[in-house]
Amino acid sequence: MKRLAFFSPVPPAATGVADYAIDVLSLLVPRYAVDVFHDQAAPERDRLPAGAGVHHHSEFVARQAAQPYDLAVYQMGNGPAHDFVYEPLVRVPGLLVLHDLVLHHARGRMFLDAPEARAYAREPGRADTRAAAAAVLGRYAAEVAYSYPAQGGRIVEAHLGTVGDLLPYAYPLFRLPVEASRAVAVHNEFMAQAVVAEVPGSDVVRIPMPMQPLPVAGAAVEALRKRYAVAADDFVVG
């Protein structure tokens, strides 16, 4: 049986991807030997499929060295719950499941809200905290410059001096994770085209969300429409 390393937020992580992971794992576990790697202090193991191994991500390097996995799957989104995915993704390239096209908000915070940056904000007069913060900012600037060579310096300067979070939408910062991966999976055609446009030659596949339709009685639907004054022929998206 093929062995998968599955990196993802899991419940109770505050992200919908954690709940989505439960559905995906329920499909994978009967077919593969799956080890789930997470970043939770106390994962809700009772919600995870019984056949899956559940490990803190810090155990991955040793497990990979002892018995390499056939494939690593990385669930990536634009939120701090995914911060731990970046390092193993680069160490062991695999399948990147890209849930958000824009990663810049969360990735930027990994640098700009790092302990070194916070220490400098508390004590800006100290040379050592200033130097440490400058090193972290330099790594952020280098990643932005690599992804957007023509605009890198201006993007960092503008992002640091801008109030609000609109700028990262124009510069989504997904190049490094995509380039580091053997393949990329997305859930809609817009994302697939955007990834290929920015990283030509990347192996991108569009896969449907693993959603199961639930049977709903017609009377229940009619009652809801009546309750909210929705006509019988009105199209509703929930």
- β-pairing verdict for 204-206 and 183-186: parallel
The pLDDT value given to residue 162: 64
Fold of 1-101+174-213: Rossmann fold (3.40.50)
Distance between CA atoms of residues 86 and 70, nearest Å = 19
H or E segment to which residue 89 belongs: helix 86-91
Of 19-28, 90-99, 133-142, the one with minimum mean pLDDT is: 133-142
Which pLDDT tens digit goes with each residue over 64-98? Answer: 999 999 999 999 999 999 999 999 999 999 999 99
**Percent of the chain topping pLDDT 70:** 97
The pLDDT value given to residue 70: 98
Is cis: bond before 88, omega within 30 of 0? no
pTM confidence score: 0.85
Q: Where are the domains of the chain?
A: 1-101+174-213, 104-172
What value does the mean pLDDT take over residues 98-122?
90
